[in-house]
Amino acid sequence: MCKSILFLTAIFCFIHNVSAVPLDQVFDSFEKIYRNELGVVDPCGSDNPHTFKVCSKALKNDGNAPYILHHEAPTDKVVVLFHGLSDSPFFLGSIARAVYQQGANVVVALLPGHGKLDADQDMQDPALASRWVEHVDAIMTLADGLGDNVYIGGFSTGGTLATQYVLTHPQQVKGLLLYSGALALTSSVETMANIWGIKWLAKILDGDYQTAGPNPYKYPTVARYSALQLTDVIFALRAQLKKNQGVNLPIFAAHSKADITTIFAGIEELMQYNQGDNVLFVLPQELAVCHADLVVDEGQIADMHFDESQVVELLPCSVPIANPLHGKMLAATLTFLQQH
């Protein structure tokens, strides 16, 4: 009997090892994706053996580069994260590290048109939203080689794209993680997005899009044209959600009630449609946590080296401030992944 069990165990391990994708192959595929997107890739300054990062002279700096945090082998859980409009993988650093330390392999992608020294053509590209969607598909295909159970998530626009992926690939993921998820914008913005000719006007107003600013990991402004492309994705997602009559998946969402960029109603609507387990981490209005500040902690603020002298007019949310409940938000994230 014992010999039979040992034999079956050996067969299982052999099959598992044969079917597993070597990590080097995953890394090669990851690098190829960004070589195609950026034109050239270069060695990174960091030599962390558990981080595979793809750097390029086309990027503002290595902190804008996409990366994989890995345990040198496939893991039970893999978490794939996508950043927001105008920013970069830097903003997902604290979340990625916490999830990695819990034992998962983590992929932090770089969306097309982002993190670059020159993004003018990208931000004028009528196919930019389609490129985002195709990029998410490519990264998620690659992530299958990093472990058994894949989770997808993102900050702001990254959350929009992650949710859209869930709707089009309901059997491919085990859970959805949203941070300031852009599932609804203010009524004035959404109404404006439906005006005929508005995209043409947005291109004119954007002019020669500038990428240098006070934050080395974020563009100084959101290109109007790219924001309108985002609204197209949100409208399509909303229609698909209603058509599919919802989703059935564990969803974690962290959102500030003070967020005036992506309103809380979008998250509420998604959770009403969801037949799976909903876990909501809400930052109350009185904390006044701005949209982009939700995902950053004190360490990220220090590493950001934000140059306040470049801010022409100091307005609420113009200078980044750490989320005061960041630690509790991370703990809630890890509990969600552990329980689902």
Number of other CB atoms surrounding residue 120 within 10 Å: 16
- Going edge to edge, which strands form the sheet with 278-283? 51-53, 67-69, 105-108, 75-82, 147-155, 175-179, 251-256, 278-283
Q: What are 61-116's pLDDT values in tens digits? A: 999 999 999 999 999 999 999 999 999 999 999 999 999 999 999 999 999 999 99
* Beta strand 105-108 pairing with 67-69: antiparallel
Q: Which residue has the tokens 């794209």?
A: 161
Phi and psi (nearest 5°) for 267? Answer: -70, -40
pLDDT at residue number 46: 66
pTM for this structure?
A: 0.92
Domains (range + CATH), the chain: 21-339 (3.40.50.1820)
Digit-coded pLDDT (tens) for 182-201: 999 988 888 888 899 999 99
Distance from C-alpha of 145 to C-alpha of 221, rounded to nearest angstrom:
36
- The mean pLDDT of the chain is 91
The confidence score (pLDDT) of residue 149 equals: 96
Which among 61, 170, 191 is positioned nearest to 117, based on CA atoms?
61
Query: How sure is the predictor about 45, in pLDDT bands with cuts at 50, 70 and 90?
Result: confident
